Amino acid sequence: MSMYVSTRDTAEQAYPYSHAAVEGLDRDTGGLFVPRLTPVFSEATLQSFVDQPTVTIFTETKSLFAGDSIPTDVIHRIAEESYSKANFPYAENGIITPLDELQPGIYKLRLSDGPTGSFKDQALLPLGGELDFFMAKIRRMMAMLGGTSGDTGSSGESSIKGRERLWLAMLSPKNGMAPFQSAQMGALSGGNILNISVEGAFDDCQRIVKALKRTDEFGGFGAVNSINWARIASQVPYWISGYLQACEGEVGKPVDFVVPSGNFGNALAGYIARSMGVPIRRIIIATNENSVLDELIQTGNYRRRDSQITSSPSMDIGEASNYERLAFDVLERDPTRLKAYMGKFATGGEVRFEDFGLPNNYLQKFMNFDSGVSTHQDRLATILEIFKASGNKTVIDPHTADAVTVAMRKQQHGVPIVCLETALPVKFDATIKEALGFVPKRTDPRFIGLEERVDAEQTFRRAENSPEAVADILREELALAGLSSYVARG
Ligand SMILES: *Cc1c(COP(=O)(O)O)cnc(C)c1O
């Protein structure tokens, strides 16, 4: 039975998967949910997954994590619905995340062919189906509230859109959204989706979401952010698929991975896949100028900074919320030590492994993580280099370019190195133009003329930069939607 504990719960109470998925964060302790025991695949099982379609690998993996919370046939239905041909038109033999070779030995795992052009679709598409299933079981509605600087917004909304038992309000900053991303979200406004544009920056949106979640009135709202275990669990299957494609059927062969990282959700899913027995060798973290995770891996010091705006904006973080789950394992799954460690970080802004009697190179030496930093100049140069090397065909987005930059530095002879593609370049016209000197013509009908088709301004509600202003809009819209009773604890 797959059960979950919170990283900060000294009583170590165990909960089912449904609780972790509906709650997001452990409200009683502020900790994150992790499996009490990580399930393991035998080598024979992994071998049997070679060449299997995504839906099969997803269903097999996810049923181990969901335990009794969701019947296997429902997981299978959710997978078929999420990873359909309509959502992933470029799937090859049922594999929605094909592997492309960029340069000899350097590969790109295509994670971003979904409806919003983001790897976040991989996990957010099934999340809508799962939450809808849980709410149908207890005959309740679930209202959700989130903040986005772009990718989570459109991806989360496309998953929740039209689902009878779910309602989602998404805050986005008035300043700082790319026109493409506003248009994507604008196209989804209406029905059970409410877009609110806040007079401020992304940090303001996050601050407002946090403030509202602390109130009785909005405390029960669900979350779509990446600390939700349901999202992490849904990212594990593509790591398995990526490994199986890169090892070319020889399960056991070492394969290295490079992950463009922000909140450490994607990388954590890789760590979980490895803990399940997938022979992933190094997990290499690529950061942009916001190099919190690089410093952690290289020096053992987890140090918060003010984030700076870069040309790979989805990785602009000052701390990495999902790292707490890895730290829990490093500290031998002792909630008391974990609380002391995170407490030191929260109050002093930094914490070192040596403060806890561990070597500062712990993540490299004992967990086979590595890291590298890619800057604006690096990503521009890499985008151009890959374009030229492909005979003027392949364009990668700025985040994926950070991974490829680091992969070129870290590649070792004879070991395939897989870069995770986290977005499509179509979302980042300005940077692509800076790198290549022009913006390639859009070929995907889903994205051609998107900004002209949707007048995003019209579909967003405007809010002053304060929790009260957003609360007023939420009350008004919830009443309009007829949502007098919403949300249940899982
Ligand atoms: C969300 C996102 C990331 C960061 O992923 P994490 O799981 O938070 O590490 C990287 N690149 C893109 C394009 C993203 O949207």
Render pLDDT for 185-212 as a digit per residue (tens, 0 to 9). Answer: 999 999 999 999 999 888 889 889 989 9
Q: Mean pLDDT, to the nearest integer, of 28-54? A: 96
Instruction: With a cut of 90, say whether residue 298 has pLDDT above it.
Output: yes
pLDDT at 429 over 70: yes
* Ligand 1 proximity of 287 Cβ (cutoff 6 Å): no
Mean pLDDT, range 228-236, rounded to an integer: 97
CA distances from 297 to 260, 291, 313, 323 (A): 14, 10, 21, 11
Q: How many CB atoms lie under 10 A from the CB of residue 381?
A: 15
**Can you read off the two tokens belonging to residue 166?**
């779910």
pLDDT for the residue numbered 484: 66
Q: Is 371 in the pocket of ligand 1 (CB under 6 A)?
A: no
User: Can you give the pTM of this predicted structure?
Assistant: 0.96
- Please provide the DSSP assignment of 304-335 as one string: -------SSGGG--SS-TTHHHHHHHHTTT-H
Any atom of ligand 1 within 6 Å of the Cβ of 110? no
Q: What's the pLDDT tens digit per position in 377-399?
A: 999 999 999 999 999 999 999 99
Residue 433 makes CB contacts below 8 A (sequence gap 6+) with: 439
The protein residue with its alpha carbon nearest to ligand 1, atom 8, reads 263
Please report, rounded to a whole number, the percentage of residues in the chain having pLDDT higher than 90. Answer: 83
Per-residue pLDDT band for 487 (boundaries 50, 70, 90) equals low
Q: What is the pLDDT of residue 175?
A: 76
Atom number of ligand 1 nearest to Cα 259: 9
Cβ of 201: how many Cβ atoms within 10 Å?
Answer: 16
Residue 490: predicted pLDDT: 40
Burial (CB < 10 A; 0-12, 13-18, 19+), residue 116, is buried
| For ligand 1, atom 2: residue with the closest CA | 314
Choose which residue among 32, 124, 148, 151 to substitute to test ligand 1 binding: the one with the highest number of ligand atoms within 8 A of its C-beta. Answer: 151
Q: Is residue 171 predicted with pLDDT exceeding 60?
A: yes
Q: 40 CA to middle of ligand 1, Å? A: 26
Nearest atom in ligand 1 to 397's CA = 13
For ligand 1, whether the C-beta of 265 sits within 6 Å is yes
Is the Cβ atom of 123 under 6 angstroms away from ligand 1? no
Q: What local confidence, expressed as pLDDT, does residue 179 receive? A: 86
SS3 193: strand
**Is the CB of residue 266 below 6 angstroms from any atom belonging to ligand 1?**
yes
The pick from 120, 422, 427, 428 for probing ligand 1's pocket by mutation, whose C-beta has the most ligand atoms within 8 angstroms, reads 422
DSSP state of 396: -
What is the predicted pLDDT for the residue at 32?
96
Average pLDDT of the residues in 263-270: 97
Percent of the chain whose pLDDT exceeds 70: 98
Question: Using one digit for the tens of pLDDT, what is the confidence trace for 105-153?
Answer: 999 999 999 999 999 999 999 999 999 999 999 988 999 999 988 788 9
Phi, psi values for residue 274, rounded to 5°: -65, -40
Q: Averaged over 401-411, what is the pLDDT?
A: 98
Phi first, then psi, for residue 11 (nearest 5°) are: -80, -10
Cα of 235 from ligand 1 centre, angstroms: 12
Which residues 6+ apart lie within 8 Å of 416 measured at CB?
A: 105, 107, 246, 247, 255, 256
Specify the pairing of strand 166-173 against strand 255-260: unpaired
- Kindly tell me if the per-residue pLDDT of 485 is higher than 70: no
150 CA distance to ligand 1 centroid (A)? 11
Question: Which residue from 110, 119, 431 has its CB within 8 A of the most atoms of ligand 1, so it is best to mutate?
Answer: 119
Choose one of 154, 257, 258, 263 to mutate for the ligand 1 pocket test, by most ligand atoms within 8 angstroms of C-beta: 263
Predicted pLDDT of residue 457:
81
Q: Is the CB of 399 under 6 A from ligand 1?
A: yes
In 355-400, which ranges are E strands?
369-373
CA–centroid distance, 476 to ligand 1, in Å, is: 33
Measured in angstroms, how far is the CA atom of residue 264 from the centroid of ligand 1?
8
Residue 364, pLDDT > 80, answer: yes
What is the band of 488 on the pLDDT scale with cuts at 50, 70, 90? very low
Q: Which atom of ligand 1 is nearest to the CA of 268?
A: 7
From the CB of 264, is ligand 1 less than 6 Å away? yes
- At 486, is the pLDDT very low, low, confident or very high (cuts 50, 70, 90)? low
Q: Distance between CA atoms of 91 and 110, rounded to whole angstroms? A: 10
> Does residue 396 line the site of ligand 1, with CB under 6 A?
no
What are the φ and ψ backbone dihedral angles of 143, each rounded to 5 degrees?
Answer: -95, 145
pLDDT of residue 352: 98
What DSSP line would sit under 333-353, residue for residue?
T-HHHHHHHHHHHHHHSEEEG
Q: How far apart are CA 72 and CA 70, in angstroms?
A: 6
Residue 489 pLDDT greater than 70, yes or no:
no
Query: Is the CB of 402 inside a 6 Å radius of any atom of ligand 1?
Result: no
Residue whose CB lies within 8 A of the most ligand 1 atoms, among 310, 379, 399, 427, for a mutation test: 399
Q: How many CA within 13 A on the CB side of residue 236?
A: 27
